[in-house]
Structure 1
Amino acid sequence: MKKLVLLTCLLVGFVINANAQPPEYDDLVIYYADGDYEKLLKTAEKYTQKDETKSDALPYLYLAKCNFEMSKDQKWKDKFPKAFNDAIRFAGNCIKKDERAGTSVVQDNLGFFTDLKIAVVEDIKNLVAEEAYMKLMGAIAKLHRFAKDDVGSYFLKAGAQYMENDKSGGKITEKEAWEKLDAIQSVENWRSIDFEMLKVGVLVYCKAKIQVMRLKDDAVELLGRVKQWLEHDSEFMAYYDEVIN
């Protein structure tokens, strides 16, 4: 009788422990590998609605990765026209869930988040080239959905606001940009795209400070601060020499 009770307790304990383990989401892994994106979207969405899995970061990661892949393929454009924006939205959700749970989903999938940032920054650079400063606000907002601490984007936003004669808004954003710059302790773990975004933001900000605000000293100060990180960038150094010399 005692053996039977002990065995029952062990089995109950095993079931409880098994139920407490987070799912591995093998189905999502397989659907993604097979390119079965529609099935992946439906399955991952169900996970985000279940009480036991809605706080996990992985379903949101696969929703982001799936939408990002579809956004690059013309065949999905008509059925999923917002795939790129959805990828950004779910990437932001994934980061929030990951931070709250103290897991390492984002760090383990840094390559994906880097690729996503590269794509958004490419759109930003095109808008900068077109001097479409109002549209830049939307692009920067997208970037902040999953890269809210990107320093260069805040200088870019301030510069764009100044270019649009939004001086009050520019001053608020500029203060935030300098605070984020001052908070940098190391760039050891920065990626190439982080430096690229810093350069883009600094150049737009400095041009706005000189051309619109007539405050060249502010531009000179920022150029001097970031030179240590961008001195190997020919575009930055050409502008630096133009302003400083």
Structure 2
Amino acid sequence: MRHLITFIGLALLSQTAMAQEYNDLKILFADGDYEKLVKKAEGYTTNDKTKYDPVPYFWAAKGLYKISLSGTDDERFKNAYKDAIKFLGKGIKYDLKKNDGQAMEEFNEFVVMFQMTCFNRISNDIEAGDYRKAYSWAGRYKKITQNPVGVYLIMGACKYQAKDRSSARTNWKEADALLPEITGVESWSDADKQVLMIGIIETAKAYKMSMQDDKAKDILGKAAQWFEEDEEWQRRYDDYVNS
């Protein structure tokens, strides 16, 4: 009986921790005190009672992102943007595993916006021909998405451009396993769609460079149903044709 009471008590304690509203974090964010917000949120992520609650991770990510925009003299925040990705990735992981994605619904606006900032870094580096950096950002993006197929395509294309054919094939193999599972992209975030679009175009370019035109046509054909009305797709497709 004693063990049963202990178990029930622990379960209730866990539920209470997961149900916290974290008003202190909300107030710090509203006040623009982002460094204090991050430190406070980090405290929750290391506390045994709340370390698996996804909410503090989302708040830490929001604070770190704001710090990355405004800058700081505190050396602890010199990698604020990259640290924001780490916290957001953990928040998403714990939310899906323990909270049925409820926190992601609450922080959806931030998640969608932040994904786009990361996508822009990937896109800019690809446009500049810096495939090493693009690969690095794509790897980070994989931590903050539930739709990684485009990431694997980009990573494969980046490795191909870096003359690492083995790693390119490994990433493309991961993508090939996921592509048939896509029934539509209507519910995807804009960033996830853009990542998939670029991944397909860059992979097709790599196939074309390696004289595998059939593979290039095949993967472009798969994407047409999702992007044929998209102006950005048409622009990138034209670049591919003329490459």
**TM-score, scaled to structure 1:** 0.85
Q: Unpaired runs of 5+ in structure 2? A: 1-10
- Look up the SS of the partner of 2:81 in the other structure: helix
Name the CA distance, whole Å, in 1 between partners of 2:12 and 2:212.
Answer: 64
Once the two structures are superposed, the pairs formed by residues 10-159 of structure 1 within 5 Å of their partners are: 21-22=16-17, 23-75=20-72, 80-103=77-100, 104-147=102-145, 149-159=147-157
Q: Identity of aligned pairs, percent? A: 32
CA distance 1:194–1:18, shift in 2 (3 Å): closer
- Look up the SS of the partner of 2:184 in the other structure: coil
Aligned to 2:163: 165
- Look up the SS of the partner of 2:142 in the other structure: helix
Deviations 1:44-90 (A, max 9, x none): 12211221111111111110110011111134686621110110000
Aligned to 1:182: 180
Shift of 1:186: 2.7
Deviations 1:81-115 (A, max 9, x none): 11101100000110121122134101221111111
Deviations 1:13-43 (A, max 9, x none): xxx9689623221101111111111221222
CA distance 1:163–1:30, shift in 2 (3 Å): same
1:214 aligns with 2:208: no
Name the CA distance, whole Å, in 2 between partners of 1:74 and 1:20.
Answer: 37
Greater Rg over alpha carbons, structure: 1
Moved more, 129-138 or 64-73: 129-138
**TM-score, scaled to structure 2:** 0.86
Moved more, 185-194 or 65-74: 185-194
CA distance 1:239–1:186, shift in 2 (3 Å): closer
CA distance 1:36–1:238, shift in 2 (3 Å): closer
> How many residue pairs align between the two structures?
229
Superposition CA RMSD, Å: 2.4
CA distance 1:48–1:75, shift in 2 (3 Å): closer
Amino acid at match of 1:55: Y
Contact preservation (8 Å) 1:160, 1:208: no
Name the CA distance, whole Å, in 1 between partners of 2:34 and 2:236.
Answer: 45
CA distance 1:243–1:65, shift in 2 (3 Å): same
Aligned to 1:13: none
Contact preservation (8 Å) 1:202, 1:222: yes
Q: Unpaired runs of 5+ in structure 1? A: 1-15
CA distance 1:20–1:162, shift in 2 (3 Å): closer
Deviations 1:158-203 (A, max 9, x none): 1111112211111111111111111112323122222211121111
Shift of 1:226: 0.4
Moved more, 225-234 or 120-129: 225-234
Deviations 1:120-153 (A, max 9, x none): 1111111101111122221111101212532222
